Structures are given as structure tokens and as C-alpha cells.
Amino acid sequence: MDNIAQLSGVDRRFFHRRTGESYTVEYKTGFDAHLKGAFIETISNDRFDRPGWVYTCSADHLLYFVPEAGRLLVVRPQRLREEIDGWLRKFGDVEVWTGSKGLRLPIDELARSADRDYLSPKLKVDDFSDLMEPPPPTRVEWIQVDN
């Protein structure tokens, strides 16, 4: 995707093999989300209090990956925007080291808003320990979790 698409919260466009229908996704990874919860950014990390990705994402789907838990959640950004005010009241907001603000949402709470919830017990954060070298090819099997 080009820089303009990425600034609007789109990382990739996919096409359905049979129908040709396209949809866009944004990727998020929470390396510590299994311990602290998924970080949902409400204010970006600049000094102008620019809205965070939860408000600016224009992708059809958000793929939130939690490597240490081997979990991948597929969520519609609009659903997050519908839930954000209640989550802020319930869980409060935090500021992270980048200067961004948002909330730490328990993974199971995020999963309740997900369209899909996949597990792959074989995939752990150690698989990403050396980001400079491509990881060895592995076959990862995802198991859909019933909510």
C-alpha cells in the first residue's frame, strides 16, 4: 500500500480468490498484550492531540495479533469505535512510552467484539526475536475460537 493509504489506517488490500471482492486491513501487534491488554490508541503520539488509530483507521478489518498468546483477532474498526466510550469508562485511559494515549483492553474483552478469534499455540514471541533476519519457514495452523 502507498503512504497515503497507510496514513489512513490501511496496511494491505486483499482480494477474494473466487469473487474478486476486495477488502482492506490494518495490522496491529501487541507483544505484551497477553500481560497488559491490547493497547487501543485514542490519541496519537504527537503534541497536537491528533486522534489515535481507533478513530482514524479506514480499513474494513483490523487484524490484532498477540504473538505470545498465539492469538489473532479480526475486528471491524467501526465496532471498536462503538465500544470505546464504554471501555474508557470501565478500564480508564493510560499513556504509553511513545506519548500516545489510549486504553489497555483485556484480550478476552477485545475478543467479544471480534468477528473472528484464532489461536495457534505453535506461534510465540520467540518466533520474532530476530526481526532483521527472516524467520525460518514454519507451518502455522490457526484454530477458530467460538465466542
**Residue 4 domain flag:** no
**Residue 8 domain flag:** no
User: Which whole number is the average pLDDT over 80-103?
Assistant: 93
**Residue 16 domain flag:** no
DSSP 8-class letter at 137: P
**Residue 12 domain flag:** no
pTM over 0.85: no
- Smallest CA-to-CA distance from 12 within 2, 21, 1 is with 1
C-alpha cell at position 138: 514454519
**Residue 46 domain flag:** yes
User: Which whole number is the average pLDDT over 132-139?
Assistant: 43
The CA distance from 144 to 137, in Å, is: 22
Domain count, the chain: 1
Please report which confidence band the pLDDT of residue 146 belongs to, taking 50, 70 and 90 as the band edges.
Answer: low
Strand pairing category for 116-119 and 101-105 = unpaired
pLDDT digits (tens, 9 = 90+) for 96-122: 888 899 999 999 999 999 998 988 766
Please report which confidence band the pLDDT of residue 8 belongs to, taking 50, 70 and 90 as the band edges.
Answer: low
- Long-range Cβ contacts of 40-44 (<8 Å, 24+ apart): 40/80, 40/84, 40/87, 40/102, 40/103, 40/104, 40/105, 40/110, 41/100, 41/101, 41/102, 42/84, 42/88, 42/93, 42/101, 42/102, 42/103, 43/100, 43/101, 43/102, 44/100
**Residue 9 domain flag:** no
The secondary element (H helix, E strand) that includes residue 108 is helix 107-112
Quick count: other Cβ atoms within 10 Å of Cβ 75?
21
pLDDT value of position 99: 85
The CA distance from 113 to 11, in Å, is: 21
The CA distance from 143 to 70, in Å, is: 10
Task: State the residue range of the domain holding 49.
Answer: 26-144
**Residue 17 domain flag:** no
Q: From the centroid of its chain, how far is CA 15?
A: 20
**Residue 18 domain flag:** no
Mean pLDDT of the chain: 80
